[in-house]
Structure 1
Amino acid sequence: MVPPRSSAPNAPYRDPPIRGLGVVQATLRIFVALECWGAAASRLVSGEVSDLCRYLVRDHAIPAAIAGGLDNSLAWCLILAGFVTLVRPAWPLLMVVALVMVLQPIALLLLGNTFASRLAAVRDVVQVAAPLSLLFVDFWPPAPPFVYSRFQAAMGVLRFGAAATFVGWGLQLLWSAVQHTGPYAQSLASGLARLGLGTLSPEQKLFALGVLGAVYFGLGMGLALGRSRAYAFFAALVGLGGAALPTIAEGTRGYPDTLLHLVDGGAPLALLVCWTLGYRETPPRPVSGHEPREMSRPHH
Protein backbone atom coordinates (compact mmCIF):
# COMPACT_ATOMS: atom_id res chain seq x y z
CA MET A 1 0.00 0.00 0.00
CA VAL A 2 1.37 3.36 -1.03
CA PRO A 3 0.54 6.60 0.81
CA PRO A 4 -0.33 9.71 -1.16
CA ARG A 5 2.52 11.81 -2.42
CA SER A 6 3.07 15.43 -1.61
CA SER A 7 1.65 17.95 -4.02
CA ALA A 8 5.01 19.65 -4.35
CA PRO A 9 8.45 18.02 -4.20
CA ASN A 10 9.89 20.79 -2.02
CA ALA A 11 6.98 20.77 0.46
CA PRO A 12 7.10 17.39 2.21
CA TYR A 13 4.82 18.60 5.01
CA ARG A 14 2.07 19.78 2.64
CA ASP A 15 0.39 16.49 1.89
CA PRO A 16 -2.95 16.45 0.06
CA PRO A 17 -5.78 14.90 2.12
CA ILE A 18 -6.23 11.23 1.38
CA ARG A 19 -9.41 9.86 -0.11
CA GLY A 20 -11.99 8.94 2.50
CA LEU A 21 -10.68 11.35 5.13
CA GLY A 22 -14.12 12.88 5.59
CA VAL A 23 -15.71 9.44 5.97
CA VAL A 24 -13.15 8.46 8.62
CA GLN A 25 -13.80 11.71 10.48
CA ALA A 26 -17.58 11.23 10.33
CA THR A 27 -17.32 7.61 11.50
CA LEU A 28 -15.18 8.54 14.48
CA ARG A 29 -17.42 11.49 15.35
CA ILE A 30 -20.51 9.27 15.47
CA PHE A 31 -19.01 6.51 17.59
CA VAL A 32 -17.19 8.83 20.00
CA ALA A 33 -20.48 10.70 20.53
CA LEU A 34 -22.29 7.40 21.18
CA GLU A 35 -19.54 6.44 23.61
CA CYS A 36 -20.03 9.69 25.53
CA TRP A 37 -23.79 9.20 25.71
CA GLY A 38 -23.40 5.59 26.82
CA ALA A 39 -21.08 6.55 29.67
CA ALA A 40 -23.52 9.28 30.71
CA ALA A 41 -26.55 6.98 30.49
CA SER A 42 -24.86 4.42 32.73
CA ARG A 43 -25.01 7.00 35.52
CA LEU A 44 -28.11 9.06 34.78
CA VAL A 45 -30.42 6.29 33.50
CA SER A 46 -29.13 3.08 35.07
CA GLY A 47 -28.05 4.77 38.29
CA GLU A 48 -24.73 2.93 38.32
CA VAL A 49 -22.00 4.40 40.49
CA SER A 50 -18.78 4.78 38.52
CA ASP A 51 -15.56 3.12 39.61
CA LEU A 52 -14.01 6.56 39.98
CA CYS A 53 -16.75 7.58 42.41
CA ARG A 54 -16.36 4.39 44.45
CA TYR A 55 -12.60 4.89 44.59
CA LEU A 56 -12.94 8.47 45.84
CA VAL A 57 -15.40 7.42 48.54
CA ARG A 58 -13.41 4.40 49.71
CA ASP A 59 -9.80 5.58 49.54
CA HIS A 60 -10.07 9.35 49.96
CA ALA A 61 -12.96 9.56 52.43
CA ILE A 62 -14.91 11.90 50.16
CA PRO A 63 -18.60 12.00 51.17
CA ALA A 64 -20.80 9.88 48.94
CA ALA A 65 -23.04 12.87 48.17
CA ILE A 66 -20.11 14.91 46.84
CA ALA A 67 -18.74 12.01 44.82
CA GLY A 68 -22.20 11.31 43.43
CA GLY A 69 -22.56 14.97 42.46
CA LEU A 70 -19.22 14.77 40.65
CA ASP A 71 -20.46 11.67 38.85
CA ASN A 72 -23.63 13.45 37.73
CA SER A 73 -21.68 16.51 36.59
CA LEU A 74 -19.32 14.36 34.52
CA ALA A 75 -22.32 12.60 32.99
CA TRP A 76 -23.93 15.87 31.87
CA CYS A 77 -20.57 17.07 30.53
CA LEU A 78 -20.30 13.86 28.49
CA ILE A 79 -23.79 14.41 27.05
CA LEU A 80 -22.76 17.90 25.94
CA ALA A 81 -19.45 16.57 24.63
CA GLY A 82 -21.31 14.04 22.50
CA PHE A 83 -23.40 16.70 20.78
CA VAL A 84 -20.40 18.98 20.24
CA THR A 85 -18.38 16.07 18.83
CA LEU A 86 -21.05 15.39 16.23
CA VAL A 87 -21.06 19.00 15.04
CA ARG A 88 -17.45 20.20 15.40
CA PRO A 89 -15.01 18.27 17.62
CA ALA A 90 -12.64 20.45 19.63
CA TRP A 91 -9.36 19.07 20.88
CA PRO A 92 -9.73 20.35 24.49
CA LEU A 93 -13.09 18.59 24.76
CA LEU A 94 -11.73 15.37 23.27
CA MET A 95 -8.84 15.48 25.74
CA VAL A 96 -11.36 15.68 28.59
CA VAL A 97 -13.35 12.76 27.16
CA ALA A 98 -10.19 10.64 26.85
CA LEU A 99 -9.16 11.59 30.40
CA VAL A 100 -12.55 10.60 31.82
CA MET A 101 -12.42 7.30 29.95
CA VAL A 102 -8.90 6.47 31.12
CA LEU A 103 -9.66 7.32 34.76
CA GLN A 104 -12.38 4.66 34.98
CA PRO A 105 -10.15 1.58 34.41
CA ILE A 106 -7.42 3.13 36.56
CA ALA A 107 -9.93 3.53 39.40
CA LEU A 108 -11.08 -0.06 38.86
CA LEU A 109 -7.49 -1.29 39.18
CA LEU A 110 -6.98 0.77 42.33
CA LEU A 111 -10.16 -0.66 43.84
CA GLY A 112 -8.89 -4.20 43.36
CA ASN A 113 -5.93 -5.20 41.22
CA THR A 114 -7.29 -8.58 40.20
CA PHE A 115 -6.90 -10.50 36.96
CA ALA A 116 -10.51 -9.71 36.02
CA SER A 117 -9.99 -5.97 36.57
CA ARG A 118 -6.85 -6.04 34.42
CA LEU A 119 -8.77 -7.71 31.61
CA ALA A 120 -11.54 -5.12 31.96
CA ALA A 121 -8.94 -2.34 31.68
CA VAL A 122 -7.51 -3.86 28.48
CA ARG A 123 -11.04 -4.39 27.12
CA ASP A 124 -11.82 -0.67 27.37
CA VAL A 125 -8.64 0.66 25.71
CA VAL A 126 -10.52 1.61 22.53
CA GLN A 127 -12.72 3.98 24.54
CA VAL A 128 -9.57 6.06 25.11
CA ALA A 129 -8.01 5.48 21.69
CA ALA A 130 -11.07 6.59 19.70
CA PRO A 131 -11.30 10.19 21.03
CA LEU A 132 -7.51 10.53 20.81
CA SER A 133 -7.56 9.38 17.18
CA LEU A 134 -10.38 11.79 16.38
CA LEU A 135 -8.37 14.55 18.03
CA PHE A 136 -5.51 14.07 15.56
CA VAL A 137 -7.65 13.32 12.50
CA ASP A 138 -10.05 16.23 13.05
CA PHE A 139 -7.89 18.67 15.01
CA TRP A 140 -9.53 22.00 15.80
CA PRO A 141 -9.00 24.83 16.78
CA PRO A 142 -7.15 25.85 14.75
CA ALA A 143 -7.47 23.56 11.75
CA PRO A 144 -3.90 22.81 10.58
CA PRO A 145 -3.04 21.64 7.05
CA PHE A 146 -3.31 17.92 6.48
CA VAL A 147 -0.14 16.01 7.38
CA TYR A 148 -0.02 12.38 6.37
CA SER A 149 2.26 11.35 9.23
CA ARG A 150 -0.22 12.74 11.76
CA PHE A 151 -3.07 10.85 10.12
CA GLN A 152 -0.99 7.67 10.06
CA ALA A 153 -0.20 8.07 13.77
CA ALA A 154 -3.90 8.54 14.56
CA MET A 155 -4.80 5.38 12.68
CA GLY A 156 -2.01 3.56 14.49
CA VAL A 157 -3.44 4.60 17.86
CA LEU A 158 -6.91 3.50 16.75
CA ARG A 159 -5.60 0.20 15.45
CA PHE A 160 -3.75 -0.49 18.70
CA GLY A 161 -6.85 0.39 20.73
CA ALA A 162 -9.11 -1.83 18.65
CA ALA A 163 -6.67 -4.75 18.79
CA ALA A 164 -6.23 -4.43 22.56
CA THR A 165 -9.99 -4.26 23.08
CA PHE A 166 -10.67 -7.38 21.05
CA VAL A 167 -7.86 -9.28 22.77
CA GLY A 168 -9.19 -8.10 26.14
CA TRP A 169 -12.73 -9.18 25.30
CA GLY A 170 -11.45 -12.54 24.07
CA LEU A 171 -9.43 -13.24 27.21
CA GLN A 172 -12.29 -12.09 29.44
CA LEU A 173 -14.80 -14.36 27.71
CA LEU A 174 -12.40 -17.31 27.76
CA TRP A 175 -11.66 -16.69 31.43
CA SER A 176 -15.38 -16.61 32.21
CA ALA A 177 -15.87 -19.87 30.34
CA VAL A 178 -13.04 -21.56 32.24
CA GLN A 179 -14.09 -20.20 35.64
CA HIS A 180 -17.82 -20.75 35.03
CA THR A 181 -18.43 -17.21 36.33
CA GLY A 182 -19.50 -13.83 35.01
CA PRO A 183 -22.68 -12.48 33.45
CA TYR A 184 -21.65 -13.03 29.85
CA ALA A 185 -22.97 -16.58 29.51
CA GLN A 186 -26.42 -15.58 30.74
CA SER A 187 -26.49 -12.48 28.51
CA LEU A 188 -25.54 -14.58 25.50
CA ALA A 189 -28.22 -17.17 26.29
CA SER A 190 -30.88 -14.50 26.90
CA GLY A 191 -29.99 -12.74 23.66
CA LEU A 192 -30.24 -15.92 21.62
CA ALA A 193 -33.57 -16.78 23.27
CA ARG A 194 -35.00 -13.32 22.52
CA LEU A 195 -33.94 -13.72 18.89
CA GLY A 196 -35.83 -17.00 18.73
CA LEU A 197 -32.71 -19.12 18.29
CA GLY A 198 -33.57 -21.52 21.10
CA THR A 199 -32.31 -22.05 24.62
CA LEU A 200 -28.87 -23.23 25.66
CA SER A 201 -27.95 -25.73 28.31
CA PRO A 202 -25.27 -24.73 30.86
CA GLU A 203 -22.66 -26.71 28.92
CA GLN A 204 -23.69 -25.09 25.64
CA LYS A 205 -23.48 -21.64 27.24
CA LEU A 206 -19.89 -22.21 28.30
CA PHE A 207 -18.97 -23.68 24.92
CA ALA A 208 -20.53 -20.74 23.06
CA LEU A 209 -18.72 -18.36 25.40
CA GLY A 210 -15.41 -20.06 24.66
CA VAL A 211 -16.00 -19.95 20.90
CA LEU A 212 -16.93 -16.26 21.06
CA GLY A 213 -13.86 -15.53 23.16
CA ALA A 214 -11.64 -17.30 20.62
CA VAL A 215 -13.23 -15.27 17.80
CA TYR A 216 -12.60 -12.00 19.64
CA PHE A 217 -9.02 -12.97 20.45
CA GLY A 218 -8.30 -14.04 16.88
CA LEU A 219 -9.70 -10.83 15.43
CA GLY A 220 -7.67 -8.78 17.90
CA MET A 221 -4.46 -10.54 16.93
CA GLY A 222 -5.33 -10.09 13.26
CA LEU A 223 -5.77 -6.34 13.72
CA ALA A 224 -2.51 -6.14 15.65
CA LEU A 225 -0.38 -8.11 13.20
CA GLY A 226 -1.57 -6.83 9.84
CA ARG A 227 -3.54 -4.25 7.94
CA SER A 228 -6.16 -6.65 6.63
CA ARG A 229 -9.49 -5.35 5.37
CA ALA A 230 -11.09 -8.74 5.99
CA TYR A 231 -10.10 -8.70 9.66
CA ALA A 232 -11.34 -5.11 10.01
CA PHE A 233 -14.65 -6.00 8.34
CA PHE A 234 -15.36 -9.01 10.55
CA ALA A 235 -14.12 -7.16 13.64
CA ALA A 236 -16.61 -4.38 12.90
CA LEU A 237 -19.44 -6.91 12.54
CA VAL A 238 -18.52 -8.80 15.71
CA GLY A 239 -17.92 -5.61 17.69
CA LEU A 240 -21.25 -4.06 16.71
CA GLY A 241 -23.06 -7.35 17.33
CA GLY A 242 -21.43 -7.78 20.73
CA ALA A 243 -22.35 -4.22 21.66
CA ALA A 244 -25.97 -4.84 20.71
CA LEU A 245 -26.17 -7.97 22.90
CA PRO A 246 -26.98 -6.17 26.21
CA THR A 247 -29.98 -4.42 24.64
CA ILE A 248 -31.15 -7.64 22.97
CA ALA A 249 -30.81 -9.59 26.22
CA GLU A 250 -32.06 -7.00 28.73
CA GLY A 251 -34.16 -4.60 26.69
CA THR A 252 -33.99 -0.92 27.60
CA ARG A 253 -31.90 -1.65 30.69
CA GLY A 254 -29.02 -2.71 28.48
CA TYR A 255 -28.90 0.22 26.08
CA PRO A 256 -26.33 2.27 28.11
CA ASP A 257 -23.85 -0.60 27.74
CA THR A 258 -24.73 -0.86 24.06
CA LEU A 259 -24.05 2.83 23.45
CA LEU A 260 -20.79 2.68 25.40
CA HIS A 261 -19.43 -0.35 23.55
CA LEU A 262 -20.57 0.46 20.01
CA VAL A 263 -17.13 2.01 19.58
CA ASP A 264 -15.74 -1.55 19.82
CA GLY A 265 -17.10 -2.08 16.31
CA GLY A 266 -16.81 1.54 15.23
CA ALA A 267 -13.02 1.59 15.54
CA PRO A 268 -12.40 -1.30 13.11
CA LEU A 269 -15.08 0.19 10.85
CA ALA A 270 -13.08 3.44 10.67
CA LEU A 271 -9.94 1.41 9.98
CA LEU A 272 -11.76 -0.44 7.21
CA VAL A 273 -12.79 2.86 5.60
CA CYS A 274 -9.23 4.14 5.84
CA TRP A 275 -7.66 1.00 4.39
CA THR A 276 -10.26 0.77 1.62
CA LEU A 277 -10.47 4.39 0.45
CA GLY A 278 -7.25 5.95 1.69
CA TYR A 279 -4.71 3.56 0.20
CA ARG A 280 -4.18 2.08 -3.22
CA GLU A 281 -2.57 -1.22 -4.10
CA THR A 282 0.35 -0.99 -6.52
CA PRO A 283 0.77 -4.10 -8.69
CA PRO A 284 4.27 -5.58 -8.82
CA ARG A 285 6.32 -4.39 -11.80
CA PRO A 286 9.26 -6.46 -13.05
CA VAL A 287 12.45 -4.48 -13.38
CA SER A 288 14.77 -5.31 -16.28
CA GLY A 289 18.42 -5.63 -15.54
CA HIS A 290 19.21 -3.53 -18.65
CA GLU A 291 17.36 -0.41 -17.53
CA PRO A 292 19.67 2.58 -17.19
CA ARG A 293 20.28 3.67 -13.66
CA GLU A 294 20.17 7.24 -12.51
CA MET A 295 23.59 8.41 -11.46
CA SER A 296 23.69 10.38 -8.26
CA ARG A 297 25.17 13.80 -8.73
CA PRO A 298 27.30 15.43 -6.07
CA HIS A 299 25.83 18.51 -4.43
CA HIS A 300 27.89 21.64 -4.87
Structure 2
Amino acid sequence: MAAKDSMKNIEALFTSKKKGDVVTLENIAKELTKQPTAAQVKKIHKFATDSKTKIISASEYAKFLTDKEKKKLAETRKRLAEGGEDEFDLNKEKEILEWSRSDSPVRMYLREMGKIPLLTKEEEVDLSQTIEEGEDIILDAICSVPYLIGYIINYKEPLLNRERRVKELFKSFEDEKASSDDENAEEPTEENEEKKAPKDDKRVKQVVDSFKALEKAKKDWMKAREDLDTFLETETDPVAILHERLKIAFKKELLKKALLNLGPTSKLINELVKAMETALTSDDSFDKELKRLEYKLPLFNDTLKANHQKILDNIINMDK
Protein backbone atom coordinates (compact mmCIF):
# COMPACT_ATOMS: atom_id res chain seq x y z
CA MET A 1 0.00 0.00 0.00
CA ALA A 2 1.38 3.39 -1.01
CA ALA A 3 1.73 6.26 1.44
CA LYS A 4 -1.04 8.18 -0.38
CA ASP A 5 -3.42 5.25 0.03
CA SER A 6 -2.56 5.05 3.72
CA MET A 7 -3.40 8.71 4.25
CA LYS A 8 -6.65 8.33 2.28
CA ASN A 9 -7.68 5.45 4.53
CA ILE A 10 -6.79 7.43 7.64
CA GLU A 11 -8.78 10.42 6.37
CA ALA A 12 -11.76 8.13 5.69
CA LEU A 13 -11.40 6.79 9.23
CA PHE A 14 -11.88 10.28 10.64
CA THR A 15 -14.64 11.35 8.23
CA SER A 16 -16.66 8.27 9.20
CA LYS A 17 -16.73 9.44 12.81
CA LYS A 18 -19.29 11.75 14.37
CA LYS A 19 -18.48 14.83 16.41
CA GLY A 20 -17.21 13.77 19.83
CA ASP A 21 -16.18 10.27 18.69
CA VAL A 22 -12.71 8.85 19.25
CA VAL A 23 -10.04 7.20 17.08
CA THR A 24 -7.30 5.08 18.60
CA LEU A 25 -3.62 5.42 17.87
CA GLU A 26 -3.60 1.70 17.13
CA ASN A 27 -6.31 2.01 14.44
CA ILE A 28 -4.31 4.77 12.76
CA ALA A 29 -1.14 2.66 12.97
CA LYS A 30 -2.94 -0.21 11.19
CA GLU A 31 -3.21 1.92 8.07
CA LEU A 32 0.49 2.86 8.03
CA THR A 33 2.96 0.84 5.98
CA LYS A 34 5.99 2.43 7.60
CA GLN A 35 6.85 4.73 10.48
CA PRO A 36 4.88 8.01 10.17
CA THR A 37 6.69 11.15 9.07
CA ALA A 38 6.23 14.59 10.62
CA ALA A 39 4.28 15.75 7.54
CA GLN A 40 1.90 12.78 7.79
CA VAL A 41 1.31 13.37 11.50
CA LYS A 42 0.54 17.03 10.83
CA LYS A 43 -2.18 15.96 8.37
CA ILE A 44 -3.54 13.39 10.83
CA HIS A 45 -3.75 16.06 13.53
CA LYS A 46 -5.69 18.26 11.07
CA PHE A 47 -8.07 15.38 10.29
CA ALA A 48 -8.80 15.03 14.01
CA THR A 49 -9.28 18.78 14.49
CA ASP A 50 -11.57 19.18 11.48
CA SER A 51 -13.75 16.20 12.45
CA LYS A 52 -13.84 17.21 16.15
CA THR A 53 -12.49 13.75 16.97
CA LYS A 54 -10.17 12.83 19.82
CA ILE A 55 -7.15 10.54 19.37
CA ILE A 56 -6.62 8.17 22.30
CA SER A 57 -4.75 4.95 23.11
CA ALA A 58 -6.25 1.46 23.16
CA SER A 59 -6.29 1.38 26.98
CA GLU A 60 -8.08 4.73 27.06
CA TYR A 61 -10.53 3.38 24.49
CA ALA A 62 -11.31 0.37 26.69
CA LYS A 63 -12.26 2.78 29.49
CA PHE A 64 -14.25 4.86 26.99
CA LEU A 65 -16.29 1.79 25.99
CA THR A 66 -16.95 0.92 29.64
CA ASP A 67 -18.16 4.44 30.41
CA LYS A 68 -20.29 4.43 27.24
CA GLU A 69 -21.91 1.13 28.24
CA LYS A 70 -22.62 2.42 31.75
CA LYS A 71 -24.23 5.55 30.32
CA LYS A 72 -26.35 3.49 27.92
CA LEU A 73 -27.48 1.21 30.76
CA ALA A 74 -28.38 4.19 32.95
CA GLU A 75 -30.44 5.73 30.12
CA THR A 76 -32.29 2.44 29.58
CA ARG A 77 -33.13 2.16 33.28
CA LYS A 78 -34.32 5.76 33.34
CA ARG A 79 -36.50 5.22 30.27
CA LEU A 80 -38.06 2.10 31.76
CA ALA A 81 -38.69 3.87 35.06
CA GLU A 82 -40.38 6.81 33.35
CA GLY A 83 -42.38 4.72 30.87
CA GLY A 84 -43.84 2.39 33.50
CA GLU A 85 -45.36 -0.97 32.69
CA ASP A 86 -46.83 -1.79 29.30
CA GLU A 87 -50.59 -1.27 28.90
CA PHE A 88 -52.71 -4.35 29.43
CA ASP A 89 -53.91 -5.89 26.15
CA LEU A 90 -56.71 -8.43 26.68
CA ASN A 91 -56.40 -10.07 23.26
CA LYS A 92 -52.63 -10.35 23.59
CA GLU A 93 -52.88 -11.82 27.08
CA LYS A 94 -55.50 -14.32 25.90
CA GLU A 95 -53.26 -15.45 23.04
CA ILE A 96 -50.28 -15.87 25.37
CA LEU A 97 -52.43 -17.86 27.80
CA GLU A 98 -53.52 -20.26 25.04
CA TRP A 99 -49.89 -20.77 23.98
CA SER A 100 -48.79 -21.34 27.57
CA ARG A 101 -51.30 -24.17 28.00
CA SER A 102 -49.90 -26.05 25.02
CA ASP A 103 -47.40 -28.83 25.71
CA SER A 104 -46.31 -29.06 22.06
CA PRO A 105 -42.46 -29.12 21.93
CA VAL A 106 -42.52 -26.82 18.89
CA ARG A 107 -44.79 -24.31 20.59
CA MET A 108 -42.79 -24.52 23.81
CA TYR A 109 -39.59 -23.80 21.86
CA LEU A 110 -41.18 -20.92 19.93
CA ARG A 111 -42.62 -19.53 23.15
CA GLU A 112 -39.18 -19.47 24.75
CA MET A 113 -37.59 -17.98 21.63
CA GLY A 114 -40.30 -15.32 21.56
CA LYS A 115 -39.08 -14.04 24.91
CA ILE A 116 -35.77 -13.08 23.34
CA PRO A 117 -35.96 -9.69 21.59
CA LEU A 118 -34.60 -9.67 18.04
CA LEU A 119 -31.76 -7.33 17.12
CA THR A 120 -32.31 -4.50 14.69
CA LYS A 121 -29.94 -4.03 11.74
CA GLU A 122 -28.14 -1.24 13.60
CA GLU A 123 -27.82 -3.40 16.73
CA GLU A 124 -26.37 -6.27 14.67
CA VAL A 125 -23.75 -3.92 13.20
CA ASP A 126 -22.95 -2.56 16.68
CA LEU A 127 -22.62 -6.10 18.06
CA SER A 128 -20.27 -7.10 15.23
CA GLN A 129 -18.13 -4.01 15.82
CA THR A 130 -18.09 -4.65 19.57
CA ILE A 131 -16.83 -8.22 19.03
CA GLU A 132 -14.05 -7.00 16.71
CA GLU A 133 -13.16 -4.22 19.15
CA GLY A 134 -13.08 -6.74 22.00
CA GLU A 135 -10.62 -8.96 20.11
CA ASP A 136 -8.42 -5.94 19.40
CA ILE A 137 -8.54 -4.87 23.06
CA ILE A 138 -7.41 -8.34 24.20
CA LEU A 139 -4.48 -8.35 21.77
CA ASP A 140 -3.58 -4.78 22.67
CA ALA A 141 -3.68 -5.69 26.35
CA ILE A 142 -1.27 -8.60 25.79
CA CYS A 143 1.02 -6.48 23.61
CA SER A 144 1.00 -3.68 26.20
CA VAL A 145 2.67 -5.83 28.87
CA PRO A 146 6.28 -6.79 28.05
CA TYR A 147 6.17 -9.57 30.64
CA LEU A 148 3.34 -11.36 28.79
CA ILE A 149 5.19 -11.17 25.48
CA GLY A 150 8.28 -12.50 27.26
CA TYR A 151 6.14 -15.30 28.68
CA ILE A 152 5.06 -16.28 25.16
CA ILE A 153 8.65 -16.14 23.91
CA ASN A 154 9.61 -18.57 26.69
CA TYR A 155 7.52 -21.24 24.94
CA LYS A 156 10.11 -21.51 22.17
CA GLU A 157 12.45 -23.96 23.91
CA PRO A 158 9.70 -26.34 25.15
CA LEU A 159 8.34 -26.40 21.59
CA LEU A 160 11.73 -27.12 20.04
CA ASN A 161 12.42 -29.79 22.68
CA ARG A 162 9.00 -31.33 22.00
CA GLU A 163 7.94 -30.80 25.62
CA ARG A 164 4.79 -29.10 24.31
CA ARG A 165 2.74 -29.78 21.19
CA VAL A 166 3.02 -26.88 18.78
CA LYS A 167 -0.55 -27.07 17.48
CA GLU A 168 -1.97 -26.78 21.00
CA LEU A 169 -0.56 -23.29 21.41
CA PHE A 170 -0.07 -21.74 17.96
CA LYS A 171 -2.34 -22.02 14.92
CA SER A 172 0.30 -20.97 12.41
CA PHE A 173 2.27 -24.20 12.88
CA GLU A 174 -0.64 -26.49 11.99
CA ASP A 175 -0.04 -28.88 9.12
CA GLU A 176 -1.65 -27.98 5.81
CA LYS A 177 -3.14 -31.46 5.72
CA ALA A 178 -4.06 -32.35 9.28
CA SER A 179 -2.92 -35.82 10.17
CA SER A 180 -4.49 -38.14 12.70
CA ASP A 181 -3.61 -38.02 16.39
CA ASP A 182 -0.17 -39.06 17.57
CA GLU A 183 -1.62 -42.25 19.02
CA ASN A 184 -2.63 -43.43 15.54
CA ALA A 185 0.74 -42.68 14.00
CA GLU A 186 2.89 -45.42 12.50
CA GLU A 187 5.62 -47.06 14.52
CA PRO A 188 8.87 -45.12 14.05
CA THR A 189 11.38 -46.77 11.74
CA GLU A 190 14.65 -45.61 10.28
CA GLU A 191 12.93 -45.09 6.92
CA ASN A 192 10.14 -43.05 8.50
CA GLU A 193 12.62 -41.01 10.51
CA GLU A 194 14.50 -40.15 7.32
CA LYS A 195 11.26 -39.06 5.64
CA LYS A 196 10.24 -36.92 8.62
CA ALA A 197 13.61 -35.24 8.99
CA PRO A 198 13.13 -32.58 6.27
CA LYS A 199 9.63 -31.85 7.56
CA ASP A 200 10.92 -31.55 11.14
CA ASP A 201 13.73 -29.27 9.99
CA LYS A 202 11.18 -27.07 8.25
CA ARG A 203 9.02 -26.97 11.38
CA VAL A 204 12.00 -26.09 13.60
CA LYS A 205 13.05 -23.30 11.24
CA GLN A 206 9.48 -21.97 11.17
CA VAL A 207 9.30 -21.92 14.98
CA VAL A 208 12.71 -20.28 15.36
CA ASP A 209 12.02 -17.62 12.71
CA SER A 210 8.57 -16.78 14.09
CA PHE A 211 9.80 -16.38 17.65
CA LYS A 212 12.81 -14.40 16.46
CA ALA A 213 10.48 -11.97 14.67
CA LEU A 214 8.33 -11.63 17.81
CA GLU A 215 11.36 -10.98 20.01
CA LYS A 216 12.74 -8.36 17.60
CA ALA A 217 9.36 -6.61 17.42
CA LYS A 218 9.20 -6.55 21.22
CA LYS A 219 12.68 -5.01 21.52
CA ASP A 220 11.91 -2.37 18.88
CA TRP A 221 8.64 -1.43 20.59
CA MET A 222 10.19 -1.18 24.05
CA LYS A 223 13.06 0.90 22.73
CA ALA A 224 10.60 3.27 21.01
CA ARG A 225 8.66 3.91 24.21
CA GLU A 226 11.54 4.08 26.70
CA ASP A 227 12.03 7.83 26.39
CA LEU A 228 8.35 8.78 26.05
CA ASP A 229 7.92 10.02 29.64
CA THR A 230 11.04 12.20 29.39
CA PHE A 231 9.86 13.51 26.03
CA LEU A 232 6.43 14.44 27.42
CA GLU A 233 7.99 16.36 30.32
CA THR A 234 9.67 18.86 27.98
CA GLU A 235 7.48 18.85 24.86
CA THR A 236 4.24 20.88 24.63
CA ASP A 237 3.57 20.88 20.88
CA PRO A 238 0.51 18.60 20.33
CA VAL A 239 1.68 17.59 16.84
CA ALA A 240 5.12 16.56 18.11
CA ILE A 241 3.54 14.60 20.98
CA LEU A 242 1.17 12.88 18.55
CA HIS A 243 4.13 12.04 16.29
CA GLU A 244 5.98 10.37 19.16
CA ARG A 245 2.90 8.43 20.28
CA LEU A 246 2.16 7.30 16.72
CA LYS A 247 5.72 6.03 16.30
CA ILE A 248 5.25 3.90 19.40
CA ALA A 249 1.80 2.77 18.21
CA PHE A 250 3.31 1.72 14.87
CA LYS A 251 5.97 -0.37 16.63
CA LYS A 252 3.23 -1.89 18.76
CA GLU A 253 1.26 -2.74 15.61
CA LEU A 254 4.32 -4.56 14.24
CA LEU A 255 4.51 -6.44 17.54
CA LYS A 256 0.83 -7.38 17.27
CA LYS A 257 1.35 -8.61 13.69
CA ALA A 258 4.28 -10.75 14.83
CA LEU A 259 2.06 -12.22 17.55
CA LEU A 260 -0.78 -12.82 15.07
CA ASN A 261 1.65 -14.58 12.73
CA LEU A 262 2.23 -17.07 15.53
CA GLY A 263 -1.54 -17.47 15.86
CA PRO A 264 -1.99 -17.91 19.64
CA THR A 265 -4.78 -20.38 20.45
CA SER A 266 -7.40 -19.95 23.16
CA LYS A 267 -5.49 -22.58 25.16
CA LEU A 268 -2.39 -20.36 25.17
CA ILE A 269 -4.44 -17.30 26.18
CA ASN A 270 -5.94 -19.30 29.06
CA GLU A 271 -2.48 -20.39 30.16
CA LEU A 272 -1.32 -16.77 30.16
CA VAL A 273 -4.26 -15.71 32.33
CA LYS A 274 -3.83 -18.63 34.75
CA ALA A 275 -0.10 -17.99 35.04
CA MET A 276 -0.72 -14.37 35.98
CA GLU A 277 -3.47 -15.34 38.44
CA THR A 278 -1.25 -17.94 40.10
CA ALA A 279 1.68 -15.55 40.32
CA LEU A 280 -0.39 -12.72 41.76
CA THR A 281 -2.11 -14.88 44.39
CA SER A 282 0.98 -16.72 45.68
CA ASP A 283 2.79 -15.50 48.79
CA ASP A 284 5.99 -14.16 47.28
CA SER A 285 5.22 -13.82 43.58
CA PHE A 286 3.09 -10.68 43.78
CA ASP A 287 6.10 -8.49 44.55
CA LYS A 288 8.08 -10.18 41.77
CA GLU A 289 5.35 -9.55 39.21
CA LEU A 290 4.95 -6.01 40.52
CA LYS A 291 8.64 -5.39 39.92
CA ARG A 292 8.42 -6.87 36.42
CA LEU A 293 5.59 -4.52 35.54
CA GLU A 294 7.14 -1.57 37.34
CA TYR A 295 10.33 -2.03 35.33
CA LYS A 296 8.73 -0.91 32.10
CA LEU A 297 5.26 0.40 32.98
CA PRO A 298 4.86 3.67 34.96
CA LEU A 299 2.05 2.21 37.08
CA PHE A 300 3.46 2.24 40.59
CA ASN A 301 5.17 5.58 41.16
CA ASP A 302 5.77 7.12 44.60
CA THR A 303 2.82 9.51 44.35
CA LEU A 304 0.40 6.68 43.59
CA LYS A 305 1.76 4.58 46.45
CA ALA A 306 1.42 7.55 48.84
CA ASN A 307 -2.19 8.10 47.76
CA HIS A 308 -2.97 4.42 48.28
CA GLN A 309 -1.46 4.59 51.76
CA LYS A 310 -3.68 7.60 52.62
CA ILE A 311 -6.77 5.72 51.45
CA LEU A 312 -5.73 2.68 53.49
CA ASP A 313 -5.20 4.82 56.61
CA ASN A 314 -8.64 6.39 56.17
CA ILE A 315 -10.25 2.95 55.89
CA ILE A 316 -8.45 1.67 58.99
CA ASN A 317 -9.44 4.74 61.03
CA MET A 318 -13.03 4.73 59.77
CA ASP A 319 -15.72 4.60 62.46
CA LYS A 320 -17.79 1.45 62.67
**Does TM, scored on the shorter chain, surpass 0.5?**
no
The structure whose Rg is larger is 2
